[in-house]
Amino acid sequence: MQDAMTAPTLSGIHNIRDLGGHPLPGGGRTRSGVYLRGDALRGLDTAGLQTLLDGGLVSILDLRSDAEVTEGPNPLERHDAVTYRHLPIYNGLATIDAMAKARPEGFDMGIRYRTALGDCRENFAEALTHLSEAGEGATLFHCTAGKDRTGLIAALLLLNAGVAREDVVKDYAATTTHGAGLIDTLRQKARARGADPEHSERILASKPDTMRATLEWLDDTHGGATDYMRGIGVSAAAVERLRARLAG
């Protein structure tokens, strides 16, 4: 699998990236072939599947809601060579529309990210613990577009491994390029539903400042990603396993 902010060529798949290849402060880079972030694989074809398997994919963590999984099951849910776990990380979180109505002075996705990190702590802890227990090979974690829920988990993993904040921000913002085809499809669906175009753009964007503000909040409120993980109940051993798997 290719390194940070690069993606294998997979027909119908728009936003898969390896968390490997990010510079580390003491030298070296995060390990490739350990954690992959991505979208829901709904357009995966036979050739694309073989690319993933050849790249070492052995497990999947699906972060989508029950309704999303029912509407579009992961195509590898029952694959013999891949273990699959569904963990709806935003369970119990208010909808985007409800959040936007509660903030008539302005809403952006950073507000949703910070609310999720606060209100869905148990879900985040369960997801991170699961990732810490992954065996050898690559684990793909994904939501629908591979941007929001996936972006938060990726940020926590990278920060815990020692990756610089601005590199984490760049990884988040890379969805603008790698996920462009999928984001455009979601944009068209939103228009067909009659959604407000300005609101849709706020939801679909991957602006660096959105993640940057979230990471600053993590520092100010929780002392950073690693302390956040410990504070929500991820064991010290699991936190260290996550760091070691990426940082070596």
The C-alpha atoms of residue 102 and residue 95 are separated, in whole angstroms, by: 11
**Block residue for tokens 């520092």:** 219
The C-alpha atoms of residue 46 and residue 51 are separated, in whole angstroms, by: 9
Q: Quote the pLDDT of residue 47.
A: 85
Residue 211 near residue 151, CB atoms below 8 Å: yes
The whole-model pTM stands at 0.90
Residue 86 near residue 187, CB atoms below 8 Å: no
Q: What's the pLDDT tens digit per position in 184-195?
A: 666 566 566 765
Q: What's the pLDDT tens digit per position in 63-105?
A: 999 999 999 999 999 999 999 999 999 999 988 888 878 776 6
Over residues 20-47, the mean pLDDT reads 92
**Block residue for tokens 């369970």:** 91
- Tokens standing for 129? 């613990």
What percent of the chain lies above the pLDDT cut of 90? 65
Question: What domains are defined for the chain?
Answer: 17-247 (3.90.190.10)
